[in-house]
Amino acid sequence: MFKKRTLTLVLIVLSQFFVAFAIAQDGILRGTIFEEATGDPLYGVSILVKETSTGAITDFDGKFEIKVAPGNYSLQISYLSYATVQLTDVAVAAGEVTVIGEIMMAEETSELETVTVSAAAIRTTESALMSVKRNAAALMDGISASTFKQIGDGDAASAVKRVTGVSIEGGKYIYVRGLGDRYTKTVLNGVDIPGLDPDRNTIQMDIFPTNVIDNIIVSKSFTADLPADFTGGVVDIATKDFPEEKTFKIGLSGGINPSMHFNSDYVTYQGGKTDWLGFDDGTRDIPTGRRTDIPQYADVVGNPNSPQGQEYQSILRSFNPILGGNRATSGMDMGLSLSFGDQLVRTKATWGYNFAFTYKNETELFKDAQFNLFAKPRESNQFELEPLEQQRGDYGVNNVLLGGLAGIALKYDNAKYRLNVMHLQNGESKAGIFDFENTNLGANFSAKQYNLEYSERSMTNILLAGDHFFNGGKWELNWKLSPTRSVINDPDIRFTRFRLPNNTIGTEAGLPERIWRFLEEYNVAGRTDLTRQLSVWGRDSKLKFGGSYTYKTRDFDIQNFQFPTGNTQFDGDPNSILDEENLFAADNRNGVRYNPGFIPNNPNSFNSNVNNIGAYLSSEIKPADKLKAIVGVRVENYVQRYTGTNQNGTIVLDNDEVLNETDFFPTLNLIYSLKENQNIRLSATRTIARPSFKELSYAEILDPITGRTFIGGLFTETTNGGQDVLWDGNLTPTRINNFDLRWEVFQERGQMFSVSAFYKTFDRPIEIVQFLSDPGSFQPRNVGNGTVAGLEFEFRKSLKFIAPSLENFSWNTNVTVTRSQIKMSESEFLSRSLSAKEGEVVEDTREMAGQAPFIINTGLSYVNFLKGWDGGIFYNVQGPTLNYVGFGNLTDNFTVPFHSLNFNVNKSFGADERIQAGFGVQNILNDKREFVFQSFQAQDQIFTSLAPGTEVNFRVAFSF
């Protein structure tokens, strides 16, 4: 009996093994079904495998999965009132996932009952995104995951450059329609997220590897469900919930710039042991521990041996003695990325996960960099600008970025949940050696200047979100909660200047200075959206409403120390200043000492917080067969509070309101379909641009390398002995009315053509104005009302129309021409009139700061999916743009057009395209990035000049 039972048990185990083995050899079919007219996923579509009579039903994301034995199959895809799709040539391999791609279903007509398509023909389409764009409520553009896979872009910054009307600043930050950061916003999965620089609306795009991104959507017009604080565009990065197949990818990248890399003139200094990881190891810690009750020189000079005097000397000797950089050989740029993900299908639910890691280490050397200040001569018959300060020299930059992203998702029949965690770590080290000339206010002198800086930034973000579907998809509930912590530490910024030719140090040339900056910000954003599918006038309609809440709080603190040198003599070596024999002591009471500049009043120590409550209602209806109307209104109550003091301590605020505004933002978007592939769009909306924490403060923040100071907008400026108030310190938001008219034509293979006209009005726009009483300082201020009118022309066209052999080439062009105008404030117009030159006619209007008169983006690209080649050459230029507004004898500052010509090529290898390689050349024309002062009948003078050089970069990625 025992032997019989044992034999039975063995047979059962063996049978289970063979069953499991057989199942393991099955392949998996995955795909997504979309509605062709709208681009929306279709729920409840039936997919039948004809050869096996097995099948599946799509979920609310339009996705399906079927397990079958290896082989070739035909699928029948059917849905009530839609034309049946017959899919042929579906090849399934043992133990592998076959991703079919995006399958479009059209509503059934008498002429269209069945559509037969080869599976190979749809594996590389982007038709769903094009359908979404054609039918979107807002004017939008974008790029999807299928395109990422085809062209091999490694990160979001590389990919989003291919979106029409989008440009990337510094390889990281996105601008839409040429409008700067103040008017462009980046969100992650539909929720506000601060970046590594919390004063920016946009986040660094190069931190997101493309294989964790589902799509990037750029909305260029406003709808009520979007945040109201943008004008140029909102960029939404949507990460994947459920990867179509199991992925494990490693990427390596590098770059060589002959003018920057392997150069023995590179300027650097000894930092900490963990600088290569993007954070300081404590080497640059502040010796005082950020205390404000530290002993001062005046308290101890009479009794240096007292306990207080001993503490003073201990703090003095704790300052790092390195004050100047050294020359060394620079390394090349390098990067590493790692990502993996998969989805696990279980009986009751489907799990998905994504993990990504990014590391970048980049080195820059700017030779003969210039940072200058010029002003108008006081005599009305003198035209040429006069130098106030001129600074020329070399400085090196080492920038390290470390990023990690982890996400898990869970999907049931009628609900989906996701949890994403992201951490970014950034460390940037700078060292500069400059020749300095001063001719301001008669204090003429020459000096040698040394700068050392380090900035450490980190950001941690969590997103928890859920989607719920009720009543067969007629009701949809979406909610998101996203807390973020941002930290910026600029530890031990060091500035030293020797007056020449005697290598003396004094107040006139500037005392040696050390600066520590600290910023910690918490941001909690949440939103809820509820959508109801309706039928109005017998046509599909939609009602959407919801609310949002954002809370931000920032602690900011700057502590700076100056080092009077007494009667100490120097030889010009900055690293000998803090030698022991030079320091204050009982027998050297007139030696080098420290004086804290943040005691007793510190305008650079403040706390700000914001509460922003929003709600909206939006309706999408079709009054006629070809006309769609999206009408909505959003309301936001924005309250900002401030705790801090001004420079002399005469004004002290304790969580006082500095901004309390309730605004309504109406939206109207009309879409008329001339044909199935042609639209005329008309929109009229209102948006807003608000001052940042830093702008609405008393802070006075110095950039030691450029010598320029940012002054918070709460601080008032007076001249003429304090009689004329040039700025009242009342910084308010800018309200913008937006009007857009667009004709667009969509063609096959992603081709399109559009002509747009837009007009915007700005109520008291915020601009950065030069501070008259302190040259080299700049302040955000509201200026007179403004307008922007523009025309935009864009197309993507295959060159097949020239010859069939050019089918894989396409020409992409986007040209924007604008005319902006600001009505000057009374004080600005008076100031310009009083400083006018002979023959100069001063009008009461000028162009708007930050708005380019023209932008040209054009490129020729080549894509061959079958052979795995992709490449292109792209050109971009932006017209001369007002950067800083002049005042009095300080003249306007403009950008010089930067002619950017870049080339890149990518190649995929192997049957499964698991190896990707890329090569590129940036700034082929070797152009410089320059800003200049301009004045009536005067030669332009350099404000900033940097030579980025030409860089050759390469990349390779392996998928396992």
Residues 6+ positions from 364 with CB-CB distance below 8 Å: 257, 260, 396, 397, 398, 399, 948
What confidence score (pLDDT) does residue 118 get? 59
Where residue 4 falls (left for φ over 0; alpha for ψ -120 to 50; beta otherwise) is alpha
What confidence score (pLDDT) does residue 17 get? 41
Helices (H) and strands (E) in the chain, counts: 7, 51
390, 626, 677 from 680: Cα distances, Å: 53, 10, 11
What confidence score (pLDDT) does residue 12 get? 47
Block means of pLDDT (10 residues each) for the chain, 960 residues, are 50 45 69 79 88 87 88 89 86 84 75 62 52 66 63 62 64 66 79 70 68 75 87 79 83 94 96 94 95 93 94 96 96 93 86 90 96 92 94 96 90 91 91 94 86 93 93 89 92 95 88 94 94 89 95 95 93 95 94 94 94 96 92 97 92 95 95 89 93 91 86 83 77 94 83 89 91 84 92 88 90 88 88 90 91 87 83 88 87 93 87 83 94 95 95 90
The Cα 429–Cα 382 span in angstroms is 43
Q: By C-alpha distance, which of 465, 469, 354 is closest to 58?
A: 469
193, 466, 475, 523, 777 from 479: Cα distances, Å: 16, 5, 13, 17, 44
- 226, 219 in Cβ contact below 8 A? yes
The Cα 901–Cα 920 span in angstroms is 11
Instruction: Provide the b/e sequence for 310-320 (b: ≥16 CB within 10 Å).
Output: eebbebbeebb
Task: Concatenate the DSSP letters of all residues of 481-538 into one string.
Answer: EEEEEEEEEEEEEEEEEEEETTTB--TTT---EEEEEEEEEEEEEEEEEEEEEEEETT
What confidence score (pLDDT) does residue 172 get? 66
Residues 6+ positions from 55 with CB-CB distance below 8 Å: 46, 47, 48, 49, 66
The Cα 813–Cα 809 span in angstroms is 13
Residue with the two structure tokens 């009229």:
684
672, 798, 800 from 753: Cα distances, Å: 16, 12, 16
Reduce the DSSP state of residue 309 to 3 states and report it. Answer: helix
